[in-house]
Every structure is written in structure tokens, then in C-alpha cells.
Amino acid sequence: MAAIPYFEFRDFPEGSMAAVEEALLQAVRSNRYILSEKVTAFETSFAAMLGAAHAIGVGNGYDALVLALKAIGTGPGDEIIVPANTFIASANAVVQAGGVPVLVEPDRNTYNLTAAVAERAITARTKAIMPVHLYGQACEMGTLVKLATQHKLHLIEDFAQAHGATYAGKAVGTFGTVNATSFYPTKNLGALGDAGAVVTNDASIAAFVHSYHNYGETEKYHNKLIGVNSRLDVLQAAMLQVKLASLQKTNAERQRQAQLYLQKLEGVGDVVLPITAPDCSHVYHVFNIRSSRRDALKAYLQEQGIQTAIHYPVPVHLQPAYRYLGYKSCDLPIAEELAADSLSLPLFPGLREEEQLAVVKAVKEFFG
Ligand SMILES: *Cc1c(COP(=O)(O)O)cnc(C)c1O
């Protein structure tokens, strides 16, 4: 069998690539390349899909996080509670907004931030809690919302990996004061380049982000704020609109593939399979397994032509860039264990069953 990629763009559902190309061609021919009605149309559709009042397209997921943090007034000394096992953007955005990331442990089973852990990290300087719906699984938002309300804190969801995931039937990205997502190409809803969005139900926050992301304009050449330029590109908006229509299908396909792995890899070697918490849905942006022999397993699969990935090899609190915060190794043992034993298997819309079965076979062979 040919090599099996960790991720590849394939025509799933069939015809979607042609539809994307057609949308791009139309956008090119529209002669309008900045904040045209294509951007507004996608913002409206994305907000409607989530059941949120407002979505504002921005340049990328990192900017979406920074703008969300600015929108709640994050400034010098403000502490934001962030899980240590996330993509670096979540923490970098806090620093960019002038705040201090307070890095904490994930839950041992779901790998997500929980209210119990967040509560222990609350101080007089805490401004917000940032749950990250890691790998595509919704965080347990019920208790997080309750905690934030009790302590009068903001919640900012980072739902870059979880478009379409739900907690108790409600879409992630709609629980926090203001929330952020990315449409990086490999995300469940991915653009053909950089793109992101800020989502909120609060009209005044939406107005702030809407102005701030376009230089702080209220009307053309009239500025109340010193804003930035982080606009969703028209071509990206046009193709995202097309891909949004099949998000349910592609998420269902990811879930179907995950079920196959879950069935076939049960009890193999010392493999730990992902666990989904009650009321939480999982859209499997990443299919993460764990093994004490992770590095050898990864090398073995590579020899068989099977690509895998590691999310993430170094937790945020041990990154050299974050040395100034003063964390040491062993401070966050669950996050550190995850970094040492996690392996992400190929899973993406269009991955074929025989390819998945070849992955399963190779994993089984490795453990003999
Ligand atoms: C992808 C991602 C981001 C950032 O997205 P960009 O669009 O690449 O800036 C932020 N947080 C998480 C958890 C991500 O996975």
C-alpha cells in the first residue's frame, strides 16, 4: 500500500473541491477584495450554524484570541487561566494582550481544562478562564460557566479545534463572553490559508471587535480606537462558506473513523484511547492515543509508511519562551505525561477504510 499521510486534502464529500474552486473563481471575478458581502455572508452563516448572535471574521486564530482578550479589557497584570497542554497560540495571545497566562493541568481522562482545576488557580488578579476544546472534544462547560459566574470572571473559549462540537447540545464557541476560533487549513473547518473568527452574543463586544479589527474605524476614516488590521480575506470567506455547508458531514465522517479506531484498538498493548465525557461531543480534530512506548511506535509506523503527529511534544509551561514565568519540570505532571506519551493517528475526511485498517494492523504488529 502507498504511504498513508497523517493529513491530506481529499475530495470529501465528493465534489467539494470543485465547489471550492468555483467559489474562489467567483470571488476573483467579483472585483471586490476587502470586506465585501462575501465576508458578511460567511460571518452570518457561521454565527447561525453555532447559534450565536455575532461572528466577526479576522485574519487568523491567534488574532481572534488577542481580539477576544482585548474585548474584555485584558491589560497589564491580568491573569488568564490557560491549560498547559494547548497549541502555543492560546498562551501567546494572552501575553500579546498584556496579560499573564496562568498555566494549569488538564483532566487526566479528557485532557481538557475542568472547573475544579481552574478554581484552584483563581486569584484576586484573575480576569478570565480560557478553556480550549482540545483535539475536538467539548470541555465540560456546565461547571466552567458556573465557576465563572460565581467569581465574576469571563470565559473565553478557544474552539480552534472544535467547530461543530457541542456541550449538552449547545455549540462550543457560544458559552464564553467572547470566543475565538481558527480556520487554519487543517482545522475541521479550514480555509486555503490563514483565517479566524471571534464569536459573541454580546452586541457591544461585537461592535468593539468589528471596529478594532479594521483599524478602529467606526465609519471610513473615522477612528475612535487605535485598532489593527486583521480582516478575514474575501477569497477565504467565499470558500469557507462552501465548506461550512459540509461541516456536519465531515465531522460525522471523522466520528465514524474514530469509532473504527476505538473498536479495533481496544486492549492493544498499553494503548490508551480517547475518552469522551458525558454531555460532551467530540469532533476528532485529532485522534490521540497514548503509549509508554510512543517514540518507538511512531518510528515503527513511519517505517511502515504511516505518518503520525505529536500534539504537543513540549507543554507550554516548559517552552523556553515561557521560562520567565518560572515553571519547572514536574510542576504539571499530567500535561508533561501527555507530552511524553501522546501520538496522533491519521484521521481526516477522505481517509479510506483500507488505509485505516493498515494503521490498525501496524499498531497491533508493533505490540506483537
Ligand atoms: C490552530 C490553533 C490556534 C491558532 O490558529 P492560527 O489560525 O494558526 O493562528 C489557536 N488555538 C488552538 C488550540 C489551535 O489549535
Q: What digits encode the pLDDT tens for the residues 231-259? A: 999 999 999 999 999 999 999 999 999 99
Which residues on neighbouring strands pair with residue 180, listed in sequence order? Answer: 158, 198
**Over residues 94-112, mean pLDDT:** 98
94 CA to centre of ligand 1 in angstroms: 13
Verify that 234 and 256 share a domain, yes or no: no
**pLDDT cut 70: percent of the chain above it:** 100
pLDDT digits (tens, 9 = 90+) for 202-221: 999 999 999 999 999 998 99
Verify that 135 and 215 share a domain, yes or no: yes
Grid cell digits, residue 119: 478554581
Which of 244, 279, 295 is the last residue in one of the domains? Answer: 244
pLDDT digits (tens, 9 = 90+) for 113-165: 999 999 999 999 999 999 999 999 999 999 999 999 999 999 999 999 999 99
Q: CB within 6 Å of ligand 1 — which residues?
A: 60-62, 86-87, 89-90, 132, 158, 160-161, 182, 184, 194, 196
Which of 227, 244, 261 is the last residue in one of the domains? Answer: 244
Q: What is the mean pLDDT of the chain?
A: 98
78 to 75, 120, 176: CA distances (angstroms): 6, 17, 17
Atom of ligand 1 nearest to the CA of 86: 13
With the C-alpha atoms ordered 364, 315, 166, 58, is the resulting torsion angle positive or negative?
negative
Verify that 215 and 158 share a domain, yes or no: yes
Residue 234: inside a domain: yes
Residue 2: inside a domain: no
- Separation of alpha carbons 272 and 107, rounded Å: 14
Q: Which domain holds residue 182?
A: 16-244
Residue nearest to atom 7 of ligand 1 (CA): 61
Grid cell digits, residue 14: 465528493
89 CA to centre of ligand 1 in angstroms: 6
| pTM (global) more than 0.95 | yes
270 CA to centre of ligand 1 in angstroms: 30
CATH label of the domain that carries residue 344 = 3.90.1150.10
Verify that 170 and 256 share a domain, yes or no: no
Predicted pLDDT of residue 2: 86
- Separation of alpha carbons 233 and 88, rounded Å: 24
Which of 191, 211, 244 is the last residue in one of the domains? Answer: 244
Predicted pLDDT of residue 286: 98
For a mutational test of ligand 1's pocket, the pick from 158, 198, 311, i.e. the residue with the most ligand atoms closer than 8 A to its C-beta, is 158
- Separation of alpha carbons 122 and 3, rounded Å: 48
Helix (H, G, I), strand (E, B) or coil at 315: coil
For 72, residues 6+ apart whose C-beta sits below 8 A from its C-beta are 127, 128, 154, 156, 177, 178, 205
**Over residues 20-26, mean pLDDT:** 98
**pLDDT cut 90: percent of the chain above it:** 99
Verify that 131 and 256 share a domain, yes or no: no
Verify that 106 and 55 share a domain, yes or no: yes
Grid cell digits, residue 163: 467547530
Predicted pLDDT of residue 6: 98
Task: Tally the domains of the chain.
Answer: 2
